[in-house]
Structure 1
Amino acid sequence: MTDLRGLSDLHRLDPGWARALEPAAGRLEEIAERLKLEEDAGRDFLPAPEHILRAFEAPLHDVRVLIVGQDPYPTPGHPIGLSFATEGHVRPLPRSLANIYRELHDDLGIEAATTGDLSRWSEQGVLLLNRVLTVGAGAAGSHRAFGWQSVTDLAIEALVARRRPLVAILWGKDAQALAPLLGETPTLQSAHPSPLSASRGFFGSRPFSRTNELLRQQGADPVDWRVVETPQGATQPALF
């Protein structure tokens, strides 16, 4: 039986996020109960419980870029609690992520990584946040009525309230619905990188270089968008 008691234990998160999400503790307990019912009914969910709140383990204070996803990949072994990211061993990469890498190459000349683990972005203050933080195995969108949106909306409001440098990247209509919460935060909006929509405005949108320029305008350091370190002696692409 999966232990879900830790889902509402905010003390294991970054202290800044723990304080910001404290008003959602009751909702998290309700979601944990809902997940337990799913499991009791023989319906598996993703990601693993220890990864559900992973996006909030990196310091709230350090976040400078927000990338919003919809819900986790529904394929077992894929999601790791960071939007668009996968376990490092996953092959082939999800097509949305492959399209992100294609645009990253076209934008900044960074070669596509073979791994889908985007932890290096997270470590640099890129909050990879799904609107909904769990999903039924093999059933995309199946947990959208669980109440996760009130938790992730609260997280976004906390980001904006810091009044620190921040750029929001909103891919697709679900993410763009959050624009009112972002106030005056510089925001980049385009089509979703899904194969169904990437050719309708995602490709060619240059989100990575534009984000770095907006960070620079706010006096913040740019993000090094390489997913893996460049080997010593290799040529490093420009950050802008």
Structure 2
Amino acid sequence: MTNEEMRLLDVDGEGFPYIEAGEGAPVVFMHGALGDCRTWERQVRLLGRSARAIAYTQRYFGDAHWRPDGPPFGTRCHGEDLIGFVEALGAGPVALVAWSYAGHAAFHAIRERPELFSRALIYEPGVPSYVRDEAALARFGEDAQAMFGPIFEAAGRGDMEEAVRRLIDGSGGRAGYFEAQEERRREIEFDNMHTMPLLLAQEAPPEIGADDLAALRVPVTVMWGGATRPVFSIPSRAAAEAIGGTAHREIAGAGHLWPDEEPEAFVKAVRGWLG
């Protein structure tokens, strides 16, 4: 999809860029860090053959002209924006697909306005507030330091390009992952480099614990990769355990960036989840 195919949806006077394809029941995609609606362009095109697939750019991401006096950057802000986007879309309740950073924002929106969502699929939420096991929480902290310490170091000396590379290398699970990506993915990530300082200084996320997930009134499925690192797998498993049920799924051999690496396989999983 090209920039010419992008649309704007007015949400309380703010224009949110989005792309869509297909007809039928709406499925809304939320991107993670260093992404925007273009992150999902292949998945939207594929799923659009059987559903109305919609992906939007969250506030402060992309190249939209966001209001400088908007709310603080963080998952609370992005969860509230999700509520506003779905309301403005006027096609709810929607099925929701959220990835990584967007997972906690999705949980916040679902908890606050469950009537707007028919179901949700969260791939690897990364907030540890759902983790009850102390040993698992300690492993999460160790891996978070191993992954984010070098990112903060690069950002602290003002090298945001290197911070982007380290975030993607860390998420991909190996050095050199960023450079090995196809050009389109690197382009989108560098286009969102301006969000690195915001991500690293974001507002504290809403307090959502395991009991809150257990009380959600919307069916939520959590998926995670079998080859993903502890900073992503531990919160994912904890969220799945808290929510309960048998719909949750580990994807054999997949890592944190699996939705981008294998869009066809990811859309196949989404179709299976939609039933």
Aligning the two structures, in what range does the TM-score lie when normalised by the shorter sequence? 0.3 to 0.5
More helix by share: 2
TM-score in terms of structure 2 length: 0.31
If the length of structure 1 is used for normalisation, what is the TM-score?
0.34
